[in-house]
């Protein structure tokens, strides 16, 4: 009977050591990736519509980091365009109107269909879309020309998870890891207490 109790105690102690080892491994993973390390690649949503003035186009961009879908601020965003009979638009900078959102109204030299190309750096992304401008300005019911994003659709801003956190902010990941570690430590403590009680009885 004493030998059996000793064997059980040994097994329980080994199990506790395994659990503690798992907890240590989780802690050894270190902190979650820094939210500031976005990377250099971005995704761009582009919308180009006829402007309210003749031969103008309104260019709007939503720029995000591809790695975490955070809105990209402080980027350099420039629009160019090519149109009828080889006409071109010189590079025109877009101003940042809100976080990750850039905009400009460009004056085109003639009416017709134009291909507008927008290039961003910091992060890097490119998108293009066609727009038709008129000598009389935008029609009342004009529909925007929207280009697909360079990588994937950035939507209208940061994604919202079911728990209320926004995509890219770390979400519940940190809490999940902490909860797992706490649970493993609690189980280990219980096993060690049980082992000590069995040994004291033996």
Q: Write out the DSSP string of 80-124.
A: EEE-GGG-EEEEEEPEEEETTEEEEEEE-SSSEEEEEEEEEETTB
Q: Three-state DSSP class for 194?
A: helix
Which carries the bigger pLDDT value, residue 192 or residue 41?
Answer: 41
Same domain, 54 and 8: no
* 120-131 pLDDT, tens digit each: 999 999 999 999
Mean pLDDT, the chain, whole residue set:
75
* 11-35 pLDDT, tens digit each: 655 665 555 555 555 555 455 555 4
* pLDDT average, residue stretch 72-95: 96
Same domain, 142 and 47: yes
Instruction: Please check whether residue 72 lies inside any domain of the structure.
Output: yes
* 158-188 pLDDT, tens digit each: 444 434 444 444 544 555 556 666 666 766 6
Question: Whole-prediction pTM value?
Answer: 0.55
Q: How confident is the model at residue 196 (pLDDT cuts 50, 70, 90)?
A: low
Q: What is the pLDDT of residue 128?
A: 98
Which carries the bigger pLDDT value, residue 10 or residue 104?
Answer: 104
**Domain coverage including residue 196:** 2-32+182-201
Instruction: Please check whether residue 152 lies inside any domain of the structure.
Output: no
Instruction: Report percent pLDDT > 90 for the chain.
Output: 48
Q: What is the pLDDT of residue 91?
A: 96
Q: Three-state DSSP class for 61?
A: strand
Determine the Cα–Cα distance for residues 21 and 91; give it in Å rounded to an integer: 59
Same domain, 27 and 54: no
Same domain, 102 and 136: yes
CATH number (domain holding residue 88) = 2.60.40.1930
């Amino acid at each position: 009977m004493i030998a059996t109790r000793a064997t059980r105690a040994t097994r329980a102690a080994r199990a506790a050591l395994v659990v503690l080892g798992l907890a240590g491994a989780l802690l050894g993973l270190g902190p979650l990736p820094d939210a500031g390390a976005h990377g250099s690649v971005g995704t761009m949503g582009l919308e180009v519509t006829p402007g309210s003035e003749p031969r103008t186009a309104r260019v709007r961009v939503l720029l995000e980091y591809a790695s975490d879908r955070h809105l990209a601020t402080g980027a350099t965003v420039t629009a160019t365009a090519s149109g009828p009979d080889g006409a071109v638009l010189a590079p025109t900078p877009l101003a940042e109107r809100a976080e990750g959102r850039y905009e400009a109204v460009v004056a085109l030299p003639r009416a017709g269909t134009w291909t507008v190309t927008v290039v961003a750096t910091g992060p890097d992304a490119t998108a293009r879309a066609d727009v038709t401008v008129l000598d009389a300005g935008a029609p009342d019911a004009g529909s925007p020309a929207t280009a697909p994003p360079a990588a994937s659709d950035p939507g209208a801003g940061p994604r919202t998870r079911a728990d209320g956190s926004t995509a890219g902010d770390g979400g519940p990941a940190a809490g999940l890891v902490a909860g797992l570690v706490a649970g493993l430590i609690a189980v280990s403590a219980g096993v060690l207490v049980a082992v000590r009680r069995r040994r004291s009885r033996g």
